[in-house]
């Protein structure tokens, strides 16, 4: 009777065990394929590295002259004002030419008399009325009168000062109706059709920089910082400053029509040079660099067709910005793994995350 009573309990226990085993088999997890790793891919590009330097420059005129009279006399006309632009050939100043007009007239009369005397004596010589020496003396006097007339004419023209080029009047040294002497400065003129920007470059940069390395040179002014002006090298002084050991370099700039940029103004000059290394340089992210126990550096090269990675030994240079410079081992167009490179093994597959990047 007791055995019959325990039989249903045994059946229920057996049924429970079978159901538990079935559930365990259905809940068995599936193992994920760990052979394909996600990674960020970097596209190698070869670029010439650029180095930028900034200098303080000062604007100068292409040409600056102090005009003076070559004959003395009282000023009777001084129409120019400081800050005025005079066209080429425009009047700057004039002195009283009364004495010079009279001197020119006298020299012309003296020449006419000498011409008449020479003609008479040549006639007498042809008639054998005088000696040859008297004719020679008359000819010499005629030549002297010609020189005197040319000098008087030249002095008369020197009573007026005119602009030798389109000039900006930077300074006026005297006033009208003043008696000026030879050599006294009247006005200071500047040629502003082209402006010069002068900078001082340290000796170490002068010694290591060649004209071929210059990429660009631009000037920026404090009153217009967002607008750069192109510069071209005009000349550089062959000797250094005795105090600062710098060399003066002059750069030319076209004068803008809508701005009144004048000599004495300061500018920031941005000089962009190419890298002193020959050829192009390659930069890669530091995260792409892996080293082996022998301290050799390598990267993982990615094949987009097979998605496989392979090891590539490289030679590195100094750090440059946010990346590492590669001297050999890579060429432009190579694809390398830029993240998680230390966890890769030869023959592994990689799944790119997004499009290959190019910036370090």
Q: CA-to-CA distance for 204 and 108, rounded, in angstroms?
A: 66
pTM of the model as a whole: 0.60
Please give the pLDDT value at position 119.
93
> Which residues of the chain register pLDDT less than 70?
1-35, 46-50, 275-281, 318-322, 356-360
Please give the pLDDT value at position 127.
84
Please give the pLDDT value at position 18.
53
Please give the pLDDT value at position 352.
87
- The per-residue pLDDT for range 36-93, each reduced to its tens digit, is 888 888 888 766 556 778 999 999 999 999 999 999 999 999 999 999 999 999 999 9
Domains (ranges, CATH) in the chain?
A: 38-48+279-352 (2.40.420.20), 53-61+193-274 (2.40.30.170), 97-158 (1.10.287.470)
DSSP-derived pairing of the beta strands 41-43 and 335-337: antiparallel
Tokens of 249: 């370099």
Q: CA-to-CA distance for 248 and 270, rounded, in angstroms?
A: 15
Q: What is the DSSP string of 77-94?
A: E----TT-EE-TT-EEEE
| DSSP bridge pairs for 220 | 268
Tokens of 127: 């008639």
Tokens of 69: 């009279």
Q: CA-to-CA distance for 215 and 279, rounded, in angstroms?
A: 15
Question: What is the distance, to the nearest Å, from the Cα of residue 40 to the centroid of all Cα atoms in its chain?
Answer: 39
Q: CA-to-CA distance for 65 and 158, rounded, in angstroms?
A: 17
Please give the pLDDT value at position 272.
85
Residue of 153, 154, 159 whose CA lies nearest to 93:
159
How many Cα atoms within 13 Å fall on the side-chain side of residue 354?
A: 8
| DSSP bridge pairs for 246 | 202
Please give the pLDDT value at position 343.
83
In the chain, which ranges are continuous DSSP H helix? 2-26, 98-126, 132-157, 203-208
Q: CA-to-CA distance for 115 and 69, rounded, in angstroms?
A: 33
Q: How many CB atoms lie within 10 A of CB 167?
A: 28
Please give the pLDDT value at position 320.
58
Residue of 277, 276, 282, 279 whose CA lies nearest to 331:
282
Please give the pLDDT value at position 276.
61
Q: Which residues contact 248 (CB under 8 A, 6 or more apart)?
A: 198, 199, 200, 236, 237, 241
Coil, helix or strand at residue 330:
coil
Q: What is the greatest pairwise CA distance in the chain? A: 194
Residue of 160, 148, 170, 28 whose CA lies nearest to 93:
160
Q: CA-to-CA distance for 194 and 256, rounded, in angstroms?
A: 9
């Amino acid at each position: 009777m007791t055995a019959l009573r325990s039989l249903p309990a045994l059946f229920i226990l057996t049924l429970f065990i079978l159901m538990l085993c079935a559930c365990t088999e259905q809940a068995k997890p599936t193992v994920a394929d760990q052979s394909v790793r996600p990674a960020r891919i970097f596209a190698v590009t070869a670029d010439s590295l650029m180095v930028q330097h900034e200098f303080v420059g000062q604007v100068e005129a292409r040409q600056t002259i102090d005009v003076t009279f070559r004959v003395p006399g009282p000023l009777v006309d001084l129409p120019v004002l400081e800050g005025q632009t005079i066209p080429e050939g425009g009047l700057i100043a004039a002195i009283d030419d009364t004495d010079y007009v009279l001197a020119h007239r006298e020299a012309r009369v003296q020449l006419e008399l000498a011409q008449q005397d020479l003609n008479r004596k040549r006639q007498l010589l042809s008639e054998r009325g005088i000696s040859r020496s008297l004719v020679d003396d008359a000819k010499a006097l005629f030549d002297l009168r010609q020189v005197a007339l040319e000098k008087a004419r030249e002095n008369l023209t020197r009573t007026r000062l005119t602009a030798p080029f389109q000039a900006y009047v930077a300074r006026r040294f005297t006033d009208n109706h003043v008696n000026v002497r030879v050599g006294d400065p009247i006005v200071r003129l500047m040629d502003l059709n082209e402006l010069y920007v002068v900078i001082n470059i340290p000796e170490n940069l002068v010694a290591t920089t060649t004209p071929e390395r210059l990429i660009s040179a631009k000037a920026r002014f404090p009153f217009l910082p967002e607008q750069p002006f192109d510069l071209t090298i005009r000349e550089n002084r062959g000797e250094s400053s005795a105090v600062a050991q710098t060399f003066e370099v002059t750069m030319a700039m076209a004068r803008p029509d809508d701005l009144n940029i004048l000599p004495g103004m300061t500018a920031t000059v941005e000089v962009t040079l190419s890298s002193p290394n020959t050829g192009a340089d390659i930069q890669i992210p530091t995260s792409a660099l892996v080293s082996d126990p022998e301290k050799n550096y390598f990267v993982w090269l990615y094949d987009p067709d097979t998605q496989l990675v392979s090891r590539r030994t490289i030679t590195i240079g100094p750090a440059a910005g946010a990346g590492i410079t590669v001297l050999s081992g890579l060429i432009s167009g190579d694809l390398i793994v830029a993240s998680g490179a230390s966890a890769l093994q030869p023959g592994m597959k990689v799944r790119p995350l997004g499009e290959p990047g190019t910036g370090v």
